[in-house]
Structure 1
Amino acid sequence: MWMIICLLFSSGLATLENDRDFKMCGIWRHGNASRNLKYDLKTGCEKIEISANESTLSIRGSITAKCTRSSSIHLDSNALQNQSNFCVLWEPLLDLLIVEVNGNNHILCEPKGLQGSCCTDLSLGDQENASLYGIVKGSTRGDIIRDDVMETYTFKGGSINCKERFCDDASQKSRGANMIEEVVMKSNTTGHVDLPCAQSTVIEMEEGFTGLNLTLPASVASNMIPSVYLPSCLKSKTNIKSKVVCTYYKEQKLFQVGPSDSTLLGDIVGLSVENEIIQNLPEPVKIRFHHIPLPANCSGRCVSWDTKKDKEVNWKYEGCYTFKINERETECQCYHLTYFAILVQVKPRATVRHLEALTFITAVCCAVSLVSCLVLFYWLCKHRKMKKNQTSLVHRGLVVAIFLLCLFLILTGTIANVGNETVCEMTGALLHYSLLSTLCWMAMEVFHTFLLVRKVFSSRPPWVFYMGGFGLPALLVGILLSIGDIYGKKKIVPSENITGPYHMCWMLDSDKSLLAHYIINIGLLAVVVSSGTVMLFLVVKEIRNRSDWKKINVAFLSIWGLTCLFGTTWGLSFLDFGPFSEATLFLFCIINSLQGFFLMLRYYALERIKKKDDSSSGGSSSGPSKQHMLNTHENS
């Protein structure tokens, strides 16, 4: 685990020494002759004596759990002014005793696993003075005991359950889980390592390591214990051997909880490799959690602990992917090593009912509109050759915008699943552009119709309409792209299957995206719908006295066609509340996805009515002074 390694190397001996149970230091005043370190260690919990004379520094006593050693070590003669700095370091949990003399470490007792009953809480006992040679400025954990020369310091301890003490200490520290993995790594054992607060498995990866499946140990037999798959890429090519520690934490108090609306689902698994930073793996590690079934309104996702911020709640989703095996099993596939768990959102998430049906309906309707737009564009271009006018120009712009909108609506889901982040960002921007362009061309239709109703027939340059319909949306989308963090892969969660969200390339859920959505999308939609509604009212008022308009089919065609043309059907989005919200949502998807088809149908009906009127009148202009607005749109 890379953060553990960084902590070890950045803090040096200071971090390690702070974890020592006992640290006694001093200055050894000695002669110029050969010097030795003698030790005589036995099991038990009686006392330890640290003494010094002209040529020998002695460590003897009974404080170890398993270590029994007696020998002498010759020390080098590099001493300044007949004195040497030394420290005696004791870690009872590891049964580790180290004597440091002038910066050189001498391990008197090596770790042999984690000890249960051990001798700790060493306190000062008897002392013996010396005249010339001995220990000066003796101290424990930096606190001076005596400044004068002492021959012997004696310390007595008590026997306790070291594992329980260690777990209690770890649970009260922000980096308690790190402490557990460090001490397991230093225990110099392989296989199962048991603590009251965690159970670990230490695996030694050697040359030819091809990966390993294992079930983590637990204090009690259970079918809910996580299993782990370690890929072969964990083994470093530069090291002949390396250790990996897999730890199962049953107690969540070693970790801070997640956000207030979330909770950790039971078990936590920690993975780390000795002296290595593991991230961006080519093959993921796989942790399979067994758990109780989640309520229908809750969702569980794999998370990892961000050890860069020990004092902050920082369970993050990045780097892990969630795969729901069944209602009782969830697999996390992660590309780095740290602590892993499943975070459950206990409050109902924002979900969409009938998402699969709505997606299918939208796709089918958009496909129909795509074909309709192609046919209608051909008709409009043919009509333009016969008689050029601004009405045809505005219609063509709207048809192109609707075509692009339907095209990107069909493609956005596929691109979100197969494309990378950059491709999805650009697709989301294009989808937003086509939506804004559709709304802007509808606004152009409203503006142009207003001129017709008011008998203002002066021609406008085509670039005015192009700038309003295509230019303004391009400007707005360009500004949002320059701001950044607006477009990307958006997740829409169906209420029927909260673990299988629908992905699309659209605007993200960030604060900047939401602000842009409400200001640009909702603002422009409100302008188009309100102005279109007013324009529809004016047009109907203008032509309501026409005799042939009183026919039911003509009236329906007039109102329906103008409603789609002026974008008032988009106003259904403002009615998505209350008991009719689901029906409104389906209507919104169907009507607006079929706008290309409805416009083609309207144009075809207009042509039929026009031909019928021409044939009945014999080509004479016997119509009323104020033309039907449907015909006016085609013959300005």
Structure 2
Amino acid sequence: MEYRITDNLKVVFVLIILMSTGSSQYDRYLDFCGTWRHGKGHLNLSVNLSRGCDGISVSANETTLSIDGKITSQCMRFDLIPLNISRKDSSKFCLNWEPLLDLLTLQIGGKNLTLCWPSSLHGSCCTDLSHGPNEPEAKYGIANGKIRTDFITEKTHTGYKFIGQPINCTLLCDQERDGSMQATKSEPICAQRSEVEMKADFGGFNVTAPAPMGVSKASTVTVHLPRALKRAETKTSKVHCTFFKNISLFQEDYKKFRVLDDVVDITVENEIIADLSEPIRITFYHDFISKMHPRKCVSWDTRKDPLMVSWSDHGCKTNQEELTYTECLCNHLTYFSVLVQLEPRPVRHLLALTTITSLGCAVSFISCVALIIYLCRKSRRSKEQSTPIHLGLAVSLALLNLLFFFTGVLANAGGENVCTWVGAGLHYALLSSFTWMGIEVFHTFWLVYRVFSPSPKPYIWILAGFVVPAVPVIILASVGGIYGIREVVPSNDVSNPYLMCWMTNTYKALLAHYFTNMPIVVILVLSGIVMLFVVYREIKTREEWRKNSVAFLSLWGLSCLFGTTWGLGFLDFGPLSDFFLFTSCILNSFQGFLLMLRFFMLDWMRKQAGGSAVGSSSTGSTRQHMLKANEKS
């Protein structure tokens, strides 16, 4: 009995608060939340909304959450919508009603559903919603019902009713603007609407959004309606341009982007307009936005699911970007705005880096071809175990440099389909090159520490270097959405990205990069540094190394052979980031040339020393030195 009295007192307390505020801003909009206690089967949302202002009811049973009533000015909806939410025995939800926008939204199970889309001011707004009598208690229904932060009851009821009162929308909006009502929302939410009548002789028209009170006139929107918008079969039709400002519905929870405060909705009475031959031109005037922050014209995409939508650049083109305005060209009608990147990560000195990379890849490819010919001839004269490994590395590097040299051209000429194959091939060549560098490290370790043990057969190296890297690439390609066109944004012109064939800029591709490329690079660089130190320690005391000043080229070649130069990419931070960026770019793009130079220089040094000194391979001379040391011992 005491619990029932306490519960009734809570209801009375909330009603007193609602009644005492009268028609204040506190009552203008509805914000009702609760916990839907339901079964674990399939769940549905039933929506039955009609025009008028009698009120609205929210009810629930074991399988269905229902929203019924007359509360809207323009919106009518009669739907039974499946809810793919958690199969737990309860779900929290919030129902929000904004009369000035005729906007009704529902948040449930982590999803934001728009039941009535925002529109401009109409004659009558349904507001002053007061809590009516609750439905009876039940096992399934709505528990913990509350209006904003005020609990109505903690018990489970089958439904709640809210009674509305009509009021002139213009009067309500004027009260909102002049501050005569205690605002609980900081942004002005009254939409501005302009109507254009398209007659038979319609030749285009410009519409400018009226500036709301308290908003700078410089921050506005201009819409050019083209002649193509008027269809020949209709004698007269009307275009409605509704201008919104600071509407939370359109502000998606982006971490790296934000939507401009201005949003414009363009519609034609009783018509669906798409694929216009002449696009609509929309100019958004805004505060200063640096060119370091990329911008993109977007539309509110309702094609996939009208209840769950998001911003999309489909059908819109960013035509012009200036510091204080952005111009968009769009070929359809819906809501439009501009998406601004908050934290740009453009590439510094992209033109210089691209030039260096292209030149380095061309030189490295020619060098690798020359090295392949040299090693093939050498393999006929000598059965040295290291030659097939060097040859495998040269072949993989030649393929990598060839594909990387043409990746930009193929991305622009071939498009997404070609880039899918080229990106997969480039990834395979990169993994194959890393694998052969790892084989070089392992083989050198074998020769240094397993002097009298035979090394594995050449076919094992070929299997590991050329077949194993294909496995993750085939798996990723079968998953789909990993390989394609990748945009690289330059810091000096973010609106003109460089296109290349590689992994796409998606979450799946990012995971693939971190699970395939990053681990092998870390392992390769660390093991390569260790082996570079071991080899240098073994050969630094040799007579020919102390006499010949050219020997340092072999160390440079060893660093490329063991993949240690790729470790410079991890140093791209701090005040020396540009230095390491360019150093890494030069060494890795000219890697094939440095390897060829090293092998040819070692061969020249061997001939100068009479054929017995240095040897022509990184590991052959070390093996000879170790054998001599063992013979002396």
Q: Give the alignment's TM-score, normalised by structure 2.
A: 0.63
Alignment of 1:398-477 (within 5 A): 398-453=393-448, 454-456=450-452, 458=454, 460-477=456-473
Q: What one-letter code is carried by the residue in structure 2 that aligns with 1:387?
A: S
2:492 to 484, 496, 499: 496
Change (3 A) 1:497 1:167: farther
d(CA) in 1 for partners of 2:444, 2:484: 37
1:580 to 576, 593, 599: 576
Note the alpha carbon deviations across 1:495-521, whole angstroms, 9 max, x for none.
Answer: 333333333222233332222222211
SS in 1 for 2:469: helix
d(CA) in 2 for partners of 1:120, 1:391: 84
d(CA) in 1 for partners of 2:125, 2:384: 99
- Cross-structure match for 2:532: 536
CA contact (8 A) 1:242 1:274 kept: no
CA contact (8 A) 1:216 1:248 kept: no
1:428 positional shift? 1.6
d(CA) in 2 for partners of 1:609, 1:316: 62
Change (3 A) 1:159 1:330: closer
Alignment of 1:386-401 (within 5 A): 386-401=381-396
d(CA) in 1 for partners of 2:335, 2:175: 20
- Cross-structure match for 1:39: none
Matched, 1:253 2:247: yes
1:360 to 355, 364, 367: 355
CA contact (8 A) 1:401 1:438 kept: yes
CA contact (8 A) 2:415 2:485 kept: no
- Cross-structure match for 2:364: 369
1:444 positional shift? 1.9
d(CA) in 2 for partners of 1:274, 1:513: 43
CA contact (8 A) 2:273 2:333 kept: yes
1:519 to 498, 515, 518: 515
Q: What one-letter code is carried by the residue in structure 2 that aligns with 1:218?
A: P
Note the alpha carbon deviations across 1:461-513, whole angstroms, 9 max, x for none.
Answer: 43322221111111110011112222222233333333333332222333322
Q: What one-letter code is carried by the residue in structure 1 that aligns with 2:576?
A: F
d(CA) in 2 for partners of 1:116, 1:277: 22
CA contact (8 A) 1:606 1:631 kept: no
How many percent of aligned residue pairs carry the same amino acid?
Answer: 42
1:314 positional shift? 2.7
1:218 positional shift? 3.0
Matched, 1:339 2:335: yes
1:299 positional shift? 3.3
Matched, 1:19 2:51: yes
CA contact (8 A) 1:301 1:322 kept: yes
Q: What one-letter code is carried by the residue in structure 2 that aligns with 1:243?
A: S
CA contact (8 A) 1:299 1:345 kept: yes
**Which 5+ residue runs of structure 2 have no aligned equivalent?**
1-46, 56-99, 101-119, 128-164, 177-188, 625-633
Change (3 A) 1:561 1:254: closer
Farther-moved stretch of structure 1 (158-167 vs 506-515): 158-167
1:337 positional shift? 2.1
**Which 5+ residue runs of structure 1 have no aligned equivalent?**
1-12, 24-92, 94-113, 122-157, 170-194
Q: What one-letter code is carried by the residue in structure 2 that aligns with 1:549?
A: W
1:198 positional shift? 1.7
1:120 positional shift? 11
Note the alpha carbon deviations across 1:594-627, whole angstroms, 9 max, x for none.
Answer: 001101111221221122122xxxx6x5x5xx96
Matched, 1:598 2:594: yes
CA contact (8 A) 1:445 1:565 kept: yes
d(CA) in 2 for partners of 1:594, 1:334: 45
- Cross-structure match for 1:293: 288
- Cross-structure match for 2:204: 212
CA contact (8 A) 2:242 2:266 kept: no
CA contact (8 A) 1:446 1:531 kept: yes
Alignment of 1:303-342 (within 5 A): 303-307=298-302, 314-342=310-338
- Cross-structure match for 1:29: none
1:291 positional shift? 2.7
CA contact (8 A) 2:266 2:335 kept: yes
CA contact (8 A) 1:486 1:510 kept: yes
Q: What one-letter code is carried by the residue in structure 1 that aligns with 2:194?
A: S
Note the alpha carbon deviations across 1:301-330, whole angstroms, 9 max, x for none.
Answer: 212223476776733344433233432332
CA contact (8 A) 1:199 1:219 kept: no
d(CA) in 2 for partners of 1:198, 1:569: 60
Change (3 A) 1:466 1:338: same
Note the alpha carbon deviations across 1:402-438, whole angstroms, 9 max, x for none.
Answer: 1222222222223333333222222221111111111
Matched, 1:547 2:535: no
SS in 2 for 1:419: helix
1:296 positional shift? 5.5
- Cross-structure match for 1:565: 561
d(CA) in 2 for partners of 1:203, 1:389: 86
d(CA) in 2 for partners of 1:407, 1:280: 40
CA contact (8 A) 1:216 1:225 kept: yes
Change (3 A) 1:242 1:634: farther
Change (3 A) 1:234 1:467: farther
Farther-moved stretch of structure 1 (548-557 vs 453-462): 453-462
1:574 positional shift? 2.4
Matched, 1:378 2:373: yes
Paired positions, count: 461
Change (3 A) 1:489 1:314: same
SS in 2 for 1:245: strand
Q: What one-letter code is carried by the residue in structure 2 that aligns with 1:198?
A: Q
d(CA) in 1 for partners of 2:122, 2:228: 35
d(CA) in 2 for partners of 1:552, 1:252: 73
Note the alpha carbon deviations across 1:214-250, whole angstroms, 9 max, x for none.
Answer: 343536895765344556665668x445736241414
Larger-Rg structure: 1
SS in 2 for 1:465: helix
Note the alpha carbon deviations across 1:45-83, whole angstroms, 9 max, x for none.
Answer: xxxxxxxxxxxxxxxxxxxxxxxxxxxxxxxxxxxxxxx
Q: What one-letter code is carried by the residue in structure 2 that aligns with 1:632?
A: G
Q: Give the alignment's TM-score, normalised by structure 1.
A: 0.63
1:338 positional shift? 0.9
Alignment of 1:187-266 (within 5 A): 197-204=191-198, 212=204, 214-216=206-208, 218=210, 225-230=220-225, 234=229, 239-241=233-235, 243=237, 245-253=239-247, 255-259=249-253, 261=255, 262-266=257-261
d(CA) in 2 for partners of 1:205, 1:463: 79
Note the alpha carbon deviations across 1:308-357, whole angstroms, 9 max, x for none.
Answer: 767767333444332334323322233432110112234x2223222222
Backbone CA RMSD of aligned residues: 4.0
CA contact (8 A) 1:543 1:628 kept: no
1:523 positional shift? 0.8
Q: What one-letter code is carried by the residue in structure 1 that aligns with 2:354?
A: T
d(CA) in 2 for partners of 1:635, 1:235: 83
SS in 2 for 1:494: coil
Q: What one-letter code is carried by the residue in structure 1 that aligns with 2:536?
A: V
